[in-house]
């Protein structure tokens, strides 16, 4: 049975993952998911579910950086498109994996 803090962290992780997944298709929700995870991360300290929020924040920032690199490298023989597609696949994988594990009450790692 999860404690109250663990349950709240689990709920916050689910919200962050769903927003990141929706944001992969709409954009605005992606920012909401990343900011949500950053804001809720400090209140989850000590919870076994805390690594889900860390994963969401890491996924958010790495994908932002890779997206910027992909956009600026588009003129270079289409490498930018490959970077953007690869980033999208990576984000979806990490969010789906995180959702599956958090719904099973398991840590991300």
pLDDT per residue as tens digits for the range 74-97: 887 789 999 999 999 999 999 999
For residue 104, name the pLDDT band (cuts at 50, 70, 90).
very high
- For 49, list phi and psi in degrees, rounded to 5: -90, 0
Q: Which pLDDT belongs to residue 27?
A: 84
**Are 52 and 102 in contact, with CB atoms under 8 Å apart?**
yes
Output 81-88 pairs: Cβ under 8 A, ≥24 positions apart. Answer: 87/63, 88/24
Q: What is the mean pLDDT of residues 3-10?
A: 91
Q: Is the pLDDT of residue 51 over 80?
A: yes
Q: What is the mean pLDDT of residues 6-16?
A: 95
Q: Which pLDDT belongs to residue 75?
A: 87
SS3 27: coil
């Amino acid at each position: 049975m999860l404690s109250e803090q663990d349950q709240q962290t689990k709920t916050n992780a689910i919200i962050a993952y769903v927003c990141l997944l929706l944001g992969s298709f709409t954009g605005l929700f992606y920012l909401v998911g990343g900011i949500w995870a950053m804001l809720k991360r400090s209140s989850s300290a000590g919870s076994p579910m805390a690594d889900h929020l860390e994963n969401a924040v890491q996924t958010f920032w790495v994908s932002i950086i890779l997206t910027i690199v992909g956009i600026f490298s588009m003129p270079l023989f289409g490498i930018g498109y490959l970077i953007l597609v690869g980033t999208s696949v990576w984000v979806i994988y990490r969010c789906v994996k995180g959702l599956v594990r958090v719904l099973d009450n398991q840590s991300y790692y």
